[in-house]
Amino acid sequence: MTLTVETAIKWLHFVNEEIQANKEYLTDLDQAIGDGDHGLNMARGFQEVSLKLNTANYNDLASLFKDVGMTLLSKVGGASGPLYGTAFMRLSMALKDKSKATQSEFSEGLQAALNGLKMRGKAQLGDKTMIDVWEPVVEFLKNHEQVTGKQLADLAKEKMEATKDIEAKKGRAAYLGKRSIGHLDPGAVSSYLLFSSLSRTFSEGEI
């Protein structure tokens, strides 16, 4: 797999499509255990990302992902703005000056993004957050040289669905304690959409 500026743009447009299509769903999930703004916030943020990508020109991945991070920071309210914003800013820093990235470079970039998410959200694996999708997906990409899009999407889906059985330790859902069990974590679902879109981008073959 090689991530180029073109494939990255394609990926982010797919993310926007998925987020728009699941806007109500994300809002419903967040109304159950959060403050009910996740769908709207993510839809507003990625709509702006999509518009930005249509109008700007990029020579390298770092400037592209930096723009994505800054756009999400300014347009997404709630916790997902600084979280996804931090993730894309860290990805940008890891891919400094690169016009394309190998799977190993991209995986390291996603690892840097994950580290940023954990630092910003002060969350660990098992807290019923987006980390529960990000960490296993990043590990998988780092540890396997050849990954198919389907493997990636299946893993992200499995880990997203597993957040249903976890008790929330972070965010508004933590106030609910055990009552958060039985509900999917909205951030894990939007993270799943991010990675299933990546899988769609590379669906033609191995990543």
- Contact residues toward another protein (CB under 8 A) are 37, 41, 73-74, 77-79, 81-83, 85-86, 120-121, 171-172
Kindly state the greatest CA–CA separation across the chain. 48
Q: Which is nearer to another protein, 78 or 149 (CB)?
A: 78
Q: Which is nearer to another protein, 121 or 149 (CB)?
A: 121
Task: State the nearest-atom distance from the C-beta of 102 to another protein, in Å.
Answer: 30
The CA-CA-CA angle for residues 137, 192, 109, to 5°, reads 45
Residue 63 CA to residue 83 CA, distance in Å, equals 19
Task: State the nearest-atom distance from the C-beta of 110 to another protein, in Å.
Answer: 20
Task: State the nearest-atom distance from the C-beta of 11 to another protein, in Å.
Answer: 24
Q: Which is nearer to another protein, 73 or 176 (CB)?
A: 73
CA dihedral 203, 158, 17, 174 (to 10 degrees): -150
Output the six-digit token pair for 6. 């073109």
Please, where are the H alpha helices in 56-185?
61-75, 80-94, 103-121, 131-143, 149-162
Task: State the nearest-atom distance from the C-beta of 69 to another protein, in Å.
Answer: 11
Q: Which is nearer to another protein, 78 or 109 (CB)?
A: 78
Helix, strand, or coil (residue 170): coil
Q: Which is nearer to another protein, 79 or 101 (CB)?
A: 79
Task: State the nearest-atom distance from the C-beta of 120 to another protein, in Å.
Answer: 6
